[in-house]
Amino acid sequence: MTALRPVVSDAQGRVRREISIQRLLEWAFADECASIDFEDEGTLAQGYRNVGTEWVLMQRCLIGCTIDGGGRSAPDHDADLVAAAVACLPEGCGGRRMAVHLAELARARRMPEAYVGVEQRCEPVGWHVNPHGRRAVTEHLGYLDDRSGRKPRRHDVRVCPVVYRPAADQIAAARRNYLLWWSALLDLRITFQIQNDMSRWSVSDVMPPRRPWKKVLAE
């Protein structure tokens, strides 16, 4: 559920509740079901598109009827303001791709994966499985002549290729995405604090940890 702060009153006499920018996005997209509407059709981010009245009429002609019932109530006006601000994210904060990512995370009430506290595991690249169990995949490296005994022997030298999971580049990419998500939240927080035009909410300075993995490493 959305965490609510004490009720505050601003200089204009509006009574509003304090809320963090992350919780504000979750309220707008998860609770109020707000949606992002990019203005220029044809360059929409993947997963979002606009349709005109002509398209709707054509689809009704194809099925020969209109759909009766269903629907939902319109989102709160503040939720529409939040969705509009997210849609206008600057390219320096990820632009439209990040806008879609923000909305998806907010609907799921999640934060981006940052591999906090993860420990890399050294594992074989593959396994051979048979009824007797499994063994690591190995590769032939060469032969080694053994002349220590009375009869020379040749030994097959094999190695076991290994990988580290999760991979270092995978962790780095996820943490770069987290930092971009964090910078987008900061941009939105500053925007709402400057505009100060919502009727129900007052955005606080509270932010998620900027680099949560740093604390774990320090410990």
Instruction: Provide the percentage of residues in the chain whose pLDDT is more than 70.
Output: 76
Question: How far is CA 52 from each of CA 14, 41, 58, 108, rounded to the nearest angstrom?
Answer: 38, 10, 10, 29
Question: How far is CA 7 from each of CA 4, 31, 188, 200, rounded to the nearest angstrom?
Answer: 9, 20, 21, 10
Look at residue 62 and tell me whether its pLDDT is greater than 60.
yes
Is the pTM higher than 0.85? The answer reads: no
Contacts of 84 (CB under 8 A, 6+ apart): 37
Q: Which of 84, 125, 90, 131 is nearest to 103 (CA)?
A: 84
Hey, which residues does 146 pair with through a beta bridge? 153
Average pLDDT, the chain: 83
**Gap between the Cα atoms of 24 and 97, Å rounded:** 20
Tokens of 79: 């939720």
| 17-26, 50-59, 129-138 — most confident range | 17-26
Look at residue 53 and tell me whether its pLDDT is greater than 60.
no
pLDDT computed for residue 69 by the predictor: 52
Least confident of 5-14, 98-107, 172-181: 5-14
Contacts of 113 (CB under 8 A, 6+ apart): 174, 178
